[in-house]
Amino acid sequence: MSTQATHLITAYPARPIAPSALAELRASDDAGHPCVPRTATDGGDPLRCCLRAAAPGERIALVSYAPLRRWAAETGADPGAYDEQGPVFIHAEDCGGPAPSQAYPFTRPGALRALRRYDAAGHIVGGRLLELPEAPDEGLDTALTEAFTDPAVALVHVRAVEYGCFHFEVRRP
């Protein structure tokens, strides 16, 4: 299965955590802690490996993830002080990645999202607070189009405002 969601309606592909990074996170996370799997009880936890909510009974783990650090290692950027890590949920075992989708993940009208913009060096060059409208995919498309009109923007992280959690990244098309 593809490691990147295929979007037929949205303008920008939401990128899950890469399979190679997931393999490392399932051993030791980006803070150096061992992965501790658990069984999802209520479900709903946003899984960054397959860009969907966990179902009750699935084996998941909460790990520390440094998305900008991993992107920088891939691209040769040096984010310096902008490097950060935070908690994300993933499947405890390989799940095959996201299924093809026609929508952005983790969208609920009224939810607050922060869209952090980064340049090719990995430095923050702006951001935007977005309250997801009734048509959340259209709202995200508009905000991402706005971000990428700035030629300095190479990458956008979409995060939940309430917890600051990284949801997914979008790279310059």
pLDDT (tens, 9 = 90+) of the chain, 173 residues, equals 333 444 347 899 999 999 999 999 999 999 999 999 999 999 999 999 999 999 999 999 999 999 999 999 999 999 999 999 999 999 999 999 999 887 999 999 999 999 999 999 999 999 999 999 999 999 999 999 999 999 999 999 999 999 889 999 999 99
Which one, of 139, 155, 52, 129, lies nearest residue 95 by Cα? 52
- Rounded to the nearest angstrom, the gap between the alpha carbon of residue 76 and the centroid of all alpha carbons in its chain is 20
H/E stretch holding 61 = strand 59-65
